[in-house]
Amino acid sequence: MPSLSNSDELIFFVNGRKVIEKNADPEVYLLFYLRKILHLTGTKYGCGSGGCGACTLMVSRYDPKTKKIHHYPVTACLVPICSLYGAAVTTVEGVGSIKTRIHPVQERLAKCHGTQCGFCSPGMVMSIYTLLRNHPEPTPEQITEALGGNLCRCTGYRPIVESGKTFCAESTVCQMKGSGKCCMDKEEKSFTSGQEKMCTKLYNEDEFQPFDPTQEPIFPPELIRMAEDPKKRRLTFRGKRTTWITPVNLNDLLELKTRFPEAPIIMGNTAVGPSIKFRDEFHPVFISPLGLQELYFVNSTDDGVTIGAGYSLAQLNDALHFIVSEQPKEKTKTYHALLKHLRTLAGAQIRNMATLGGHVVSRPNYSDLNPILAAGKATINLISKEGKRQIPLDGRFLEKSPEANLKSEETVLSVYIPHSTQWHFVSGLRIAQRQENAFAIVNAGMSVKFEDGTDTIKELQMFYGSVGPTVVSASKTCQQLIGRQWNDQMLSDACRLVLDEIYIPPDAEGGMVEYRRTLIISLLFKFYLKVRRGLNKMDSHKFPDIPEKFVSALEDFPIETPQGIQMFQCVDPHQPLQDPVGHPVMHQSAIKHTTGEAVFVDDMPPISQELFLAVVTSTRAHAKIILIDTSAALALPGVVDVITAEDVPGENNYQGEIFYAQNEVICVGQIVCTVAADTYAHAKEAAKKVKIVYEDLEPRIITIEQALEHNSFLSAEKKIEQGDVEQAFKNVDQIIEGKVHVEGQEHFYMETQTILAVPQEEDKEMVLHVGTQFQTHVQEYVAAALNIPRNRVACHTKRAGGAFGGKVSKPALLGAVTAVAANKTGRPIRFILERGDDMLITAGRHPLLGKYKIGFMNNGVIKAADIEYYINGGCTPDESELVMEFMVLRSENAYYIPNFRCRGRPCKTNLPSNTAFRGFGFPQAIVVGEAYITAVASQCNLTPEQVKEINMYKRTSRTAHKQTFNPEPLRRCWEECLEKSSFSARKLAAEEFNKKNCWKKRGLAVVPMKFTVGMPTTFYNQAAALVHIYLDGSVLVSHGGCELGQGLHTKMIQVASRELNIPESYIHLSETNTTTVPNATFTAGSMGADINGKAVQNACQILKASLQPVIRKNPKGKWEEWISEAYEESISLSATGYFKGYQTNMDWKKGEGDAFPYFVYGASCSEVEVDCLTGAHKLLRTDIFMDAAFSINPAVDIGQIEGAFVQGMGFYTTEELKYSPEGVLYSRGPDDYKIPTVTEIPEEFNVTLVRSRNPIAIYSSKGLGEAGMFLGSSVLFAIYDAMAAARRERGLTKTFTLSSPATPELIRMTCVDQFTDMIPRDDPSTFTPWSIHVS
């Protein structure tokens, strides 16, 4: 450690209170400090890399130069506390609280139903709140932009945006169908559809408290005095291993840089921070010139602008907007290009943290700005003790040539960007997995200068990002083209030359090699067109314009603020006012979600002597364990113990699930051992020191194809069959066969798997606080691992931060692992999985290989279908057999095929075991059905919608597994969807658009759905509840269902309120635990409200019946009077409610049975626009019609439908899991796994609940938790419709293989054209690819 003076005091404010940290450690981040030191747990851990926004908060600083206060959003997980000297931090607790008063932002997010699980809500609140502190009347665009760095997995974003839009100046709700009347107005609140009145208002704005921007907390005056103190001095903070130095002025900075030339300069910490966290980089000294006046300035001259290196990218954005507004257009082409990329670069938080100097100098190979700066001929102004110098920001600098580098003692002072000139064109181009907050797959900065008045190239520059280890300059190509004219011949030579010059090897890191090669020339073509257009605008006589059909290729998709209408049935006017059933009641915890006061497992205060657990996972897919050496780990400070398979007192391999690997490992990510230590940092450090020696074993099976070769399966085949399939194939006009690959999906619940296990002093009792969907399972596994009866294990679940199936079976395994550690150490264990470990260990949705053979007539009638499903189950049984049963049972979807056979088998591979996921196999399986419908349509020259209509169930029928059902609600959803979405007219408009546009294509698709609820086994459908009435008349409800964000507890309160005829305010629901309701089934299969609602209803009815004698005596009495009278008459005020379960059965030997209690029907229509040159797509509109029967809570049900749809849309488009050929998962966080953001959702998003009857269920409702997931496939098939249009135009009519997800790569490479034909291709047998598909 360098010898430096002792540590200074770190002074900053949090929520108006002064914090003085005497021992500030540079390695401590603000998120940890808030949660563990200050015990402010509203700010959440979601990913640790700044990519999800769960830890967003506001930082405010005073600028003594401008005398202004600057508020900006940051992600606390990347902010070192030492960077906060003199700053004021505002967390969600400082914005408002239930205990004091809630802020309008918090209230409106809750009342607009913008929270479900509530884990992302504090981050959402802080993003909107910070925006309002800077712009009290924001525009809708600003709301959308502010939320771009915040991920939500539950809601689908629409209600979150809507809550933000209530602060906008002008009315932002839609003008209903162009009538100019607003669908949200009171008198317009309902309109009649058929017999029923339909409502469109899910909340009442009159309830909102007014927003008064003058009432916000003041900036601490002490911080102003500190900032203006003329006697400021250098600050030094010394930690255990590192030192942080904040220089007092520029000379001091240069002094430090000379003294510590290797020390990184830290401003936003967005580059160094992740390297330290995820790549184990270590720096003994940090120099942080944050706030150093000399680095913050803008200087404009006649030929350009110089911007200080300390400017954040957000400040750069504001500065460039100002310059663009002041200067003539021809001078600002470089600035326009930069502004376009600044809008989508990362999210608002990162743009406010990252600095221009840091971005330029760190030279990431994916940089969106550096290629443009280089193309615009920017220069970097450097300074050191030796003096100042300038270096060009050019190819040599970006390619990290030694002679073009900074000297170690130099630092960046500013960046100079020259104005563009009249005959000079500059462009930035990029394509990423999703539109914003995603690293580019390929980006480029290009510029061309012509001899004045001509199209003869004088200078040409092309820089590409993400095509190699650094940004790459195509300098040789540019050199060879000088003097050429800007025409088609030059373009084709340029494409050939640039492909020769920039070579991406076939096994390049990041994969997508052929796609990236294609993008190199596709982006060049876009630039070529832009310049042609620009020349024509300057002199239309001299320079011909580009063809009209090419014009749409010039523009990127705009980012629009989403809007839409939600329609549901109005409540019967005769229903008692107090009865909440059927009303859009706000989620029971919504206000707590938005104030950060909802307690999740890791928010629970520390327990005396608790330890933290870190995992050591296998790095091999299939290997023998030769040795586990824990000596180095045990020697580290704070480490209490290392736990291995030897320490499991009971069963370590229970029902095929292995808690700790023993003797061999069977996948990468299997838990080998865990380390228990006094802090998580110590446990993690020690886990890295555990040495494991492996010996690889054969075979290593990763993909479904490999499993089929090795005959490796987890269970026997499941099959259903009707009619005579073989005979039918002999009597049809045509037969087609095909294969469909559907890749997997990561749950990406915002709260990672979290368990707190507390061993009790007596009787070997173990208490677990766990975010789970299936407490009984956790209890069972823990009891088995500890070899104790289940009555000694108590599980408590207050709420889970999202689950989606990922918390059905996995918490049982992780609970057992934790309990074994707690048992061995005798101390409480807190086990919080990091996002990367969670994604690696717990896996997700099963990848599917589907094969079909279809026999049909020329008129589109399908006579025979033979379907085979194979899923990648992973290395242990988990839920794979059940998932396959569901896939087979639901395989026909909405279509009647008289001769139908479906067979399926789960494959055993050396991947982590895949598990339950919303929709439970249906979203994968039915893609196969929709694919063969589309293929049949293509063969018969019909539209897919016509073939769907021809083959859809029309009257009461039996399914392929012989269950009778009435498809009338299916027909209604389908017909209303086609009619109300104006499908036919829009389809014609899309065809017209496609004729006029060569490089952009539109596509539409409508998908119908027949989904199922519940389980084919009756005992899985049972439920119990316990209802207590206390002497003051208050009621406590407990039931066996878990609150995951789906509003289950809210609906249960509505049920109890109706049944007991008392207001909801009398009823409380605290938590789910195994001590009050034993043996509860899982909260899954869309049946949480169905079965627990029946149990709560039963308990309330028992209580109501026992109160009857008292009520009869005093019919006019109050509820409270009745209760005290009942108590005085010794009437029990507690009741257990029970629901035996829906009577279902399935006989797999016969392949028939009434497998499900009822069906849920729906239809969805989506329209997309696709960019054929890049593979980007934009979702323009979605209309969903869902058969909700009677909705107990339309707000909750519509929230479930929208959230599931967006999750499904992600599954079918942007979400792509990448594995190495050795079975290593690469996608382990938001940086490399892209769930939808607010910009991906439909620009227009309409949802209608269609009324039907469902007498079997409580209040004739239906379970809607999962059904919306598959409707996301309407986006996939709309993309396929657009791609088919592109292929037809290029003369390719053949049906093409359909696979999911439709990533930009798949879209671009399917839209074959001269550019895809031009790229070099490699023989697959000559190299090992970086990543593979496992379906």
Known catalytic residues are 1266
Taking alpha carbons only, the member of 1205, 1214, 1182 closest to residue 1301 is: 1214
Bin 453: left if φ > 0, else alpha if -120 < ψ < 50, else beta: left
Cα–Cα dist 853/917, whole Å:
28
Q: What is the DSSP letter of 19?
A: E
Classified as helix, coil or strand, 359 is helix
Placement of tokens 């959803």 in the chain = 973
Cis geometry, peptide bond prior to residue 1301 (ω within 30 degrees of 0) = yes
Residues 6+ apart with CB under 8 A from 1054: 580, 581, 583, 585, 1064, 1192, 1193
Classified as helix, coil or strand, 481 is helix
71, 133 contact by CB (below 8 A): yes
Classified as helix, coil or strand, 345 is coil
Three-state helix/strand/coil letters over 829-863: EEEECCHHHHHHHHCCECCEEEEEEEEECCCCCEE
What number of other Cβ atoms are within 10 A of residue 735's Cβ?
Answer: 15
1274, 1204 contact by CB (below 8 A): no
Phi, psi of 258, deg, nearest 5: -70, -40
495, 1315 contact by CB (below 8 A): yes
Please name every residue paired with 380 in a beta bridge, in sequence order, or none if there are none.
391, 415
| Dihedral (Cα; 1278, 1284, 1285, 1287), 10-degree rounding | 150
Cα–Cα dist 505/759, whole Å:
55
Bin 1151: left if φ > 0, else alpha if -120 < ψ < 50, else beta: left
Q: What is the DSSP letter of 175?
A: B
Q: What is the DSSP letter of 548?
A: G
| 454-474 as b/e: b if 16+ CB within 10 A | ebebeebbbbbbbbbebbbbb
Question: CA neighbours within 13 Å on the CB side: how many for 842?
Answer: 31
What number of other Cβ atoms are within 10 A of residue 216's Cβ?
Answer: 15
801, 121 contact by CB (below 8 A): no
Residue 214, Cβ density class (10 Å: 0-12 exposed, 13-18 middle, ≥19 buried): exposed
What number of other Cβ atoms are within 10 A of residue 1329's Cβ?
Answer: 16
Taking alpha carbons only, the member of 769, 730, 739, 680 closest to residue 1073 is: 769
651, 663 contact by CB (below 8 A): no
Residues 6+ apart with CB under 8 A from 761: none
**Amino acid of residue 293:** Q
Cα–Cα dist 85/248, whole Å:
12
Cα–Cα dist 367/369, whole Å:
6
What number of other Cβ atoms are within 10 A of residue 632's Cβ?
Answer: 13
Cα–Cα dist 1291/1314, whole Å:
12
Tokens (6 digits) for 1224: 């290593």
Taking alpha carbons only, the member of 1022, 1253, 1016, 1278 closest to residue 1147 is: 1016
Cα–Cα dist 1138/1135, whole Å:
10
